[in-house]
Structure 1
């Protein structure tokens, strides 16, 4: 886009970032009659919602469950409008996760509250009152239908607000009580040490500051098949939305690294790329890292005390930003037993935690990803994804100071995972064909997310509350700057459906500003999904991970 390119009178929009939020904003802006261009620094769409490949294995980085996979709710409508699930089968599981402690005691978190209650009571009859309370609340959540992803609250009409109240009021006390009860406080009352430690890991890792509400909400979604795994996985989701965007007439440029937002008379007029090119538009939407956007792209000129508190002070506080993660993908020749669970969180012993480099929560999540989507492994083979929360600063310092030592620590991760899997799946160690380790610095290099964070602000924290208040007050804009908006996880909070909804919301606000109708309709793409739709899959590191023979 140049200054003279008015696209036939259509409002022109530049979108920084080709993650799910940026792609969604592009789709909705195109549907609403705008002319858009997305600028993405990587060679793939999706941001963190991505995958890469080695030796025929597809390393799916992001989706563990996706809210909105079942029809009949607002989350699913957003995905249908974006074409994200076109032609795809959905995999659903009867359990959310399994947790195993150091003594091989285990608990399975079934989505069915009746089955869950029976199972938990068998483990600890002494905790019957707490178990029945949790499962009773889960049954109540099964009856709810609250998916607020179609319109931001400030734009809702009075009848729409009254309709929300009609749905919320009968369950108000349930929402209040489960959001006011921290999971850690709830589990502290359990007598059984396994249940006390396992419940916070329903979502694979301990989210620490979460109350009961999100656990119950997501397990209820999973019970209804509304938290499944789409065929094609993370990159498949991103590719489908990218396809929808280009079919709507949008343009996306890869390897396009933005250096700054161009501003004239307190109005954003375009962007300057790293190569010096300048692109102009009537409006700019930033759907990338919030701190980078505000303090680098815009030199910190358009802030407020609240914004400065959120994007500077809060970023340094413990427990308000999701930690970064180490991922180890392990490709194995042969199939595993059908009884092998799709996901298990192992609570590590002190000895194991001392060996695994920079593990934050003394736990390791082991997921059999080939059970989620068979296409991620070659026929007759299996793929594990092993993850744990880790410290970005540790890996950044290593990679900056001593690249050889950095690779040595990655090798330690690979060797630990190989030995760990061999212990739990005898014979697997000798059948491993490939191991690929991604650290928090890998995430940072390819997405630009602050400290390699996987989801931005943690929900149910003071940062999350402040971000929500700013969105409703500023309408996803910055004070004193016209022609500019923000979307994505640093604005709306983490999670793919929230990212997609933020793209819808930012377009609705822009349509209101421009005085044009917001338009959205469902994709009609019905072509069955094929693995080749993933397109070219890069290798993030050219050097393969080498394991020692004794590992």
Structure 2
């Protein structure tokens, strides 16, 4: 075996979790190699081109990006902040929640958020200020201030044991306000019966602390991270699917790619779903059948059906905000009845372009979808699913467009092409079981079963990615730092990031 195939750390998967680990460990002097099965790195940060337009896969905006906020701090530490083209969203209403035909603004900043909604709900002023105080307390547990004290997180575990919906219900008796505050649950695959208040708070708070969009696509984050890893002397290999992990005693001794080549490293970090990771390890008493079975049967979040409305050039004005259309239903998507396939919620997001600031080329409509809805095609691969699949997607797209038109008349009038993706697309590109958008669901009734630690029973194998801890871009970044801390030490790493 040549020396070139010997690394300090091999990282499986090049989504944000894998790339954040790669950027961090390579910066701290480790010789890293990131392996990606697809032709392009990036996972949910990938963008893809159709009909001359760049379409974002899964990241349509990002929070905590204002000066001094946590996500910006991480990006600065990685060395990529100055390489990103971004646009700060409308601070008076970065999101608009539409419930029963009325739009309610989400404004940036705790004070402004509470004040703005108080105009709509004057009797609920105290409740709204109480609510933002709760968000702020959870947000502070992972703040730059904590990093400078040498802590990646100060815990706040109590909120993992609290139901998001019950907490919101307890804040206000006003049913409309309850639905409005729940309005963006799509951002973390919210399930009314199990979702934790920690997830609701950490993600909602993040957007209040600076909601920004990527100009010309989210792929630039993946490209910048890959660039930094290579600049730090690391390697990123695409078209390199991990086919087996070989053991020697209590350690991974080699990583096999594409059923042929073997690579060696001191440590292995996998950002795949934990079940998929452990399934790659050759049979060993270290991997109990019961553990595999438990991981396999933990519920995953729902997937997403995405419809990209490609606009005629300079025909559709760009709006610097997202819309969450709830219809007159419960804001929480009906996760108890996956057989009910009617469209009852939708996120509308426009992609900004540097070529034309006033207009958008792409309107994206996102709605929850279970894999069961596309079960007929689950044994097929991308591009080979047949005409009946294309017909199904187009019918579903028409339903989603009709739903969006009810609340945003004329939204699709300038559309010249329609592109669609389903949970099968997610499954095949990101390797998530069930085509899940956010990995393993967290359950407030028993969080310890659904929170997965980065350490495994194999001494040099670590886990990362959104199935472990917290969903979304911020959650995945935080989780990847917890994984890196296993090698670098938590206090050392926190202070390095805090002082970046």
**Residue 507 (str. 1) matches residue 484 (str. 2):** yes
Q: How far, CA to CA, are the matches of 1:339 and 1:379 in structure 2?
A: 8
Partner of 2:207: 222
2:303 aligned to which of 305, 324, 338: 324
Aligned 8 A contact 1:49 1:238 in 2: yes
Q: Alpha-carbon deviation of 1:392? A: 0.9
Q: CA deviation at 1:407?
A: 1.8
What TM-score do you get using the length of structure 1 for normalisation? 0.74
Counterpart in the other structure of 1:21: 17
Match of 1:198 in 2: 180
3-state SS, counterpart of residue 12 of structure 1: strand
Whole-Å Cα distance in 2 between the matches of residues 377 and 44 of structure 1?
A: 27
Aligned pair count reads 482
- TM-aligned CA distance change 1:499 to 1:430, over 3 Å: closer
Q: State the distance in 1 between where 2:274 and 2:355 align.
A: 32
Segments of 5+ residues of structure 1 without an aligned counterpart are 316-320, 526-551
Residue 213 of structure 1, CA deviation: 5.1
Q: CA 1:181–1:323 in structure 2 vs 1: closer, same or farther (change >3 Å)?
A: closer
**Contact 2:37–2:238 (8 Å) recurs in 1:** yes
Unmatched segments (≥5 aa) in structure 2: none
Does the alignment pair 1:384 with 2:363? yes
Query: Is the counterpart of residue 461 in structure 1 residue 461 in structure 2?
Result: no
Residue 485 in structure 1 maps to residue 456 in structure 2: no
RMSD between aligned alpha carbons? Answer: 4.1
CA displacement at 1:511 relative to structure 2 = 4.3
Q: Structure 1 residues 114, 521: closer, same or farther in 2, change over 3 A?
A: closer
User: How far did residue 123 of structure 1 move?
Assistant: 4.6
Partner in structure 2 of residue 412 of structure 1:
395
Q: Note if contact 1:91-1:231 (Cα within 8 Å) is conserved in structure 2.
A: no
Question: 1:178·1:211 contact (CA, 8 Å) conserved in 2?
Answer: yes
1-structure distance, mates of 2:275, 2:159: 34
How has the CA–CA distance of structure 1 residues 145 and 379 changed in structure 2, closer, same or farther, with 3 Å as cutoff?
closer
8 Å Cα contact 2:196/2:444 also seen in 1: no
Q: 2:248 aligns with which of 245, 261, 264?
A: 264
Q: Deviations over 1:461-515 (max 9, x none)?
A: 35653354x52xxxx2321x233222222233322233233333333323469xx
Shift of 1:48: 1.8
**What TM-score, normalized by structure 2, do the two folds share?**
0.81
1:256-301 CA-partner distances (Å, limit 9, x unpaired)? 1111112223321121222422222232221212111112444475
| Residue aligned with 1:444, SS | helix
Give 3-state SS (helix, strand or coil) of 1:492's partner: coil
Aligned with residue 286 of structure 1, among 258, 270, 293: 270
Query: Per-residue displacement from partner, 1:87-113 (whole Å, max 9, x unpaired)?
Result: 433423323532324x52333333455
Question: Equivalent residue for 1:247?
Answer: 231
Rate the CA distance shift 1:210–1:492 in 2: closer, same or farther, 3 A.
closer
Asked if 1:395 corresponds to 2:391, the answer is: no
Q: Secondary structure at the match of 1:433?
A: strand
Larger Rg: 1
